[in-house]
Amino acid sequence: MEELKRVFNRFDANSDGKISSTELSNVLNRSIGPYKKDFPSRSGAYTIDEMKELKDAFDLYDKDHKGLVSVLELHLVLKSLGEKCSVQDCSKMISFVDADGDALILRNSNR
């Protein structure tokens, strides 16, 4: 449970107890490299600890451990964290970073 809280807090940038679509997009954007064109980029390199946190956050959503996050996986995790968002909301979130239109977020294994 502590690990979930730590990951949740990493997503909840403004500490309001909720993960907005913008906050989710920002974390996912940092973790999937090739899709950065859709979001403001962060200047500077990530530390090893930050990269580990991002990988851990991605792995939290990647329930079947295939290196991809589907709409349903995102929905299940957000629902388990108490977020009230629909599958359609999750689909919209994923569409922000889905460059090829397959409704999946791919982990960039080169980072």
For helices 2-11 and 48-61, the axis angle rounded to 10 degrees is 110
Residue 106 has pLDDT above 60, yes or no: yes
Set out the domains of the chain in order of their start, with CATH numbers.
Answer: 2-106 (1.10.238.10)
For every residue of 44-82, DSSP letters joined together read SPPPHHHHHHHHHHHHHH-TT-SSEEEHHHHHHHHHHTT
Query: Model pTM greater than 0.85?
Result: no
pLDDT band per the 50, 70, 90 thresholds, residue 52? confident
Q: Rg for the chain (alpha carbons), in Å?
A: 13
pLDDT band per the 50, 70, 90 thresholds, residue 29? low
N- to C-terminal Cα separation, the chain: 27
**CA angle (42, 46, 48) in 5-degree steps:** 165
Residue 89 has pLDDT above 70, yes or no: yes
**Residue 105 host element (H or E):** strand 104-106
Residue 111, pLDDT score:
36
Beta-carbon contacts of residue 52 (< 8 Å; ≥ 6 apart): none
